Amino acid sequence: MKIFWSWQSDRTSRICKDFVKESLEEAAHRIATDLGLEESARPEVDHDTKGEPGMVDISATIFRKIENAAVFVADMTSIGRSEGGKRVMQNPNVLIELGYALKTLGPSQVILVANQSYGGKPEDLPFDVRHRRGPILYKLSKEDPPEVVDQEKQKLVDALADALTTCLQNAIAKEHAEVEIQRHKHGEDCSVWFNAHRRLQHRSWMPFRAAADDVEVLKGPRTYMRIIPAGWKNRKPDSTTVRNLNPPLGLQPFGEWHQGGAGINEEGVLCRPLGARDETGVHHVDTVSQWFESTGELWGIEVHLPGPDGTAYFAEDQAVNHWHAFMKRGLAMFSHLEARPPYIIEAGVIGIKSLLWPHPQAIVRYTRGVRDSATHEERSSAWTPDEQLNFLLKLCDEVRRAFGLSQAKESDIKKHLRD
């Protein structure tokens, strides 16, 4: 990512041009580490015709570089005053480049810097930008000793790092929003990748068995989650690599399970509990997870089975806990495998009309669903703990709407989480 630096040489370079450029470079290096950016995505300070061969068209080159930059930084230090001294003047070339940056990149990606020794108050700026945030200010004169210059540089680096972080995060988010992410096709509904008549298979995890294991997922309403990366930083992992991952990074079934394992299949790796085995050798399970080698996607489902009274219930605390655990494990696995962000996470509940929401302490003991499905989807590069919590809150809101209930409280969702 490029940070275009629009400079002026009318003032002493030691306290203006060179000083700000060095501060920018230090700030860029710092935030590249703080944001954990890959080598190819690390911010680099660019300016005028830097890196261009031969006798290029200077104006055209500068405008092209501004268009392609992630952030534009302009030196708005005053270079003099108008006749009579009423109006502070900035370098005209910087102002032209600033105007072009405002048009092409937008104000959110523009940062202004000025040496306060020569002005820098809002009223010193051109009329068109006075109503916007003013420059980041520092104060140096030609007479200042090196120790003062160093002190001012540290303050300027800190301020630039803060401003650049916000701008670069905006640029990254915009870039990632435009990334096309390939998904595996869903099956009979959005919660599964298979149709009702299809029997799942995987290679036995028992080394002495050559035959494949047949698996059938029990029928009923389902909770599910999908985590889909944009791609891979290096080589795409194969099914054997994913199959051999050890806990806590290895695949696990989405829902409750006690014994089970993962086996390679046609699509990637299927993970399931042991399940009940019928007379034909088919394993019947209520939860599975599948990693797809073609897209890198991780998909998990859990069936809500009826209780002793023949009724299936939706327990929000259990669902939130399973979603959260699957999300954390999946993102940790993708980080280990060097997946490339952003990630799409989709989750929901299907078959809500056949579920009851229990109210143990209320007069009305149960609420039946009024809509048959509830889903929520988001895309993010970082998926911080706060983003995960916010996702779960919005997801629970959708489920509650499907039951005709009021919105969830963040405190309630936090209570459901078990690390």
Q: Print the SS3 string covering 218-255.
A: CCCCEEEEEEEEEEECCCCCCHHHHHCCCCCCCCCCCC
Q: For 83-103, what is each residue's pLDDT tens digit?
A: 766 777 889 999 999 999 999
Q: What is the rounded CA–CA span in Å between residue 45 and residue 29? A: 10
Q: What is the rounded CA–CA span in Å between residue 231 and residue 297? A: 10
Name the one residue in this structure whose structure tokens are 């799409």: 344
Q: For 332-345, what is each residue's pLDDT tens digit?
A: 999 999 999 999 99
- pLDDT above 70 covers a percentage of the chain that reads 95
**Residue 338: per-residue pLDDT:** 94
Name the one residue in this structure whose structure tokens are 């299949």: 265
**pLDDT beyond 90 at 169:** no
**pLDDT beyond 80 at 59:** yes
Half-sphere exposure of 273 (CA within 13 A, CB side): 19
User: Where does the pLDDT of residue 208 fall: very low under 50, low under 70, confident under 90, or very high at 90 and above?
Assistant: low
State pTM to two decimals: 0.74
Query: Angle at the Cα of 178 (from 177 to 183), degrees rounded to 5?
Result: 85
Which two three-digit tokens encode residue 201? 């298979």
**Residue 137: per-residue pLDDT:** 92
Asked whether 292 and 180 are in contact (CB, 8 A), the reply is no
**pLDDT beyond 70 at 419:** no
Rounded to an integer, the average pLDDT of 165-174 is: 88
How do the domains of the chain map onto residue ranges?
Answer: 2-177, 200-416
Choice between 58 and 35, residue whose per-residue pLDDT is larger: 58
For CA atoms 186, 188, 189, 191, give the dihedral sign.
Answer: negative
Rounded to an integer, the average pLDDT of 18-28 is: 94
Choice between 233 and 362, residue whose per-residue pLDDT is larger: 233
Lowest-pLDDT range, 1-5, 58-62, 205-209, 290-294? 205-209
User: Where does the pLDDT of residue 405 fall: very low under 50, low under 70, confident under 90, or very high at 90 and above?
Assistant: very high
**Residue 339: per-residue pLDDT:** 95
Tell me which of 1.10.287, 3.40.50, 1.10.540, 2.30.30 is the CATH number of domain 2-177: 3.40.50
**Residue 16: per-residue pLDDT:** 92
H or E stretch at 103? helix 92-104
**pLDDT beyond 90 at 373:** yes
